[in-house]
Amino acid sequence: MFFFFLLAYSNKFQIYHLFVHSCCTYVGLLNEMLRSTRQNKGSTWKVLIMDKLTVKIMSSSCKMGDITDQGVSLVEDLYKRRQPLPSMDAIYFMQPTKQNIDIFMSNMSGKRPLYKKAYIFFSSPIQKEWVAHIRKDSSVLARVGALSEMNLEYFAIDSQGFVTDHDKALEELFTENAEGSMNYNSCINTMATRIATVFASMKEFPRVHYRVARTIDASTLTTLRDLVPTKLAASVWNCLARYKSIIPEFPQTETCELLIVDRSIDQIAPVIHEWTYDAMCHDLLSMDGNKYVQEVPNTSGSGTEKKEVLLEDHDPIWFELRDVHVADANLRLHEKMRDFISKNKAAQLHQARTNGELSTKELQKMVQALPQYTDQIDKLSLHVEIAEKLFDIIKEEHLKDVGQLEQDLVFGDAGSKEVIDFFRTHQDISRENKLRLLMIYAAINPEKIQSEKGAKLMQLAGLSADDMIAVNNMRCICAHETKKSSKGGFPLKFEIRKKKRGIRKERIGEESTWTLSRFYPILEDLIEK
């Protein structure tokens, strides 16, 4: 089993920390927590009380129906004033902080507690002194039905990924002000705790690999920024060492691999256009997380209304298409549509009435005409609509031309001359795409972007002063790659082409049916090695 933890930063994509894993354990543990408080089939309904963090953990995995199925009738905010319900039991799912425990103690102490009994579940390990603090109050202790460490302090994105919810990690760990900052150590420790809870919940003990700090020469000081993967790896290992001694059935020898790297190994991946269905959706459709707003016919049929849908694993079409090339996804959608029509006589009649044309709107009208196929047509019409929007945007923004130049730069088939020619001949390219092209150029040529040639490129692109700062900042992330170093880190030096400077090499035997499929993240190469 292989996991990777990537400190990745991008305002556009909001990629933070990603693990490859399955959600089954995560959902199972949450359900197990709620189910464990139901002593018998006739047990009473309970109140679920959470803090801000555990609300996010729960909502990233469970729906309200999943919670009520386990006997929860009311969900409350730990920090808000709550109505006393002395005849009901309460489930507390919270972080083991002083503030949270103080609130819990005030809820359950004295002659008039808010609830009859409390089942306490902490999202990460609790300090021994806080357990002792709870035990000291006899009135509280008598009302505690359970006290357990759930080790669930990470957030599911989908069935393969999690985040540790640190959207300010770049600022706290890598800016000039990071040196000596209290936020630096706090961020490292919190991330490590949350990463460790992933392995604790699965009872997996990883062998930890990490990128060591690389210095250009002996006279160059190693900064805290260079040491982020090292410090994070050490902190994760300390948490795992504790789990070995306190968690029943936790492995005593390594069972899987964990790789910890930072964005400097591949600063291009968050900037370049990726052409999978999933990447295109999140890049081009202004989605809020996995939420997409679809326009559907209203109940009267006289107009449309907006409907919020989630692109997630329970949608079988999304699950099938998300990792394939967007052109392949489009072909498969049309094949699904043809297959559906060929197997449904009512759909064939509907198609005949529209002269054989089935637009997105016609598909949506079929939902009303064929109620027995509502869910199937709903999903199909949703993704047909999305695919149509994607290809409209690709055409309007000339993304095939942009994507071709991006990949030519990365593979050494283009340089500054081609970028200059492109800006001169493509005046209608959006500011964002010009910015992305120059950020890629800066990552490949950090020493050139501050030269006269770099200034000419930025002037030709018509970028603002803030945009120029963003381009120049790419140089800071990749500066250590400009000189060869044989010590430390991963062996990621690729051959330099005679024609242009490329930072990827073609993968032998991996020719794709689809254009713009050459690019691959360096992380993929690392994992294979």
Domain-embedded: residue 230: yes
Residues in the chain: 529
Q: What is the Cα–Cα distance from 8 to 5, expressed in whole angstroms?
A: 9
148-205 pLDDT, tens digit per residue, is 888 888 888 777 788 888 888 888 887 777 766 788 889 999 999 999 998 988 889 9
**Are residues 374 and 446 part of one domain?**
no
Instruction: Convert 41-88 into a string of H (helix), E (strand) and C (coil).
Output: CCCCCEEEEECHHHHHHHHCCCCHHHHHCCCEEEEEECCCCCCCECCC
**Are residues 147 and 39 part of one domain?**
yes
Q: What is the Cα–Cα distance from 296 to 304, expressed in whole angstroms?
A: 5
pLDDT of residue 498: 45
pLDDT of residue 367: 54
**Are residues 166 and 80 part of one domain?**
no
**Are residues 240 and 146 part of one domain?**
no
**Are residues 377 and 289 part of one domain?**
yes
Nearest CA among 37, 255, 51 for reference residue 146: 37
**Are residues 261 and 249 part of one domain?**
yes
Low-confidence stretches of the chain (pLDDT beneath 70): 1-29, 39-43, 179-180, 214-220, 300-301, 345-374, 476-502, 509-512
Q: Report the CATH number at residue 228.
A: 3.40.50.1910
The residue among 155, 188, 222 that closes a domain is 155
pLDDT of residue 376: 77
Domain-embedded: residue 4: no
pLDDT of residue 214: 67
**Residue 17, Cβ density class (10 Å: 0-12 exposed, 13-18 middle, ≥19 buried):** buried
Phi, psi at residue 89, to the nearest 5°? -85, 155
Q: Report the CATH number at residue 323.
A: 3.90.830.10
Domain-embedded: residue 8: no
- Count of structural domains, the chain: 4
**Are residues 429 and 393 part of one domain?**
no
Domain-embedded: residue 13: no
Q: How far is CA 377 from CA 44, 190, 355, in A?
A: 40, 44, 19
**Are residues 514 and 467 part of one domain?**
yes
Domain region containing 447: 399-484+491-528
Q: Would strands 206-210 and 161-163 be described as parallel, antiparallel, or unpaired? A: unpaired
Domain-embedded: residue 282: yes
**Are residues 146 and 24 part of one domain?**
yes
**Are residues 284 and 329 part of one domain?**
yes
Domain-embedded: residue 270: no
pLDDT of residue 22: 42
**Are residues 409 and 290 part of one domain?**
no
pLDDT of residue 481: 46
Domain-embedded: residue 11: no
pLDDT of residue 9: 38
Q: Report the CATH number at residue 46.
A: 3.40.50.2060
- Using CA atoms of 39, 41, 47, 48 in order, give the dihedral in degrees to the nearest 10: 70
**Are residues 115 and 213 part of one domain?**
no
The residue among 207, 237, 265 that closes a domain is 265
Q: What is the Cα–Cα distance from 435 to 417, expressed in whole angstroms?
A: 17
The residue among 397, 431, 461 that closes a domain is 397
Domain-embedded: residue 289: yes
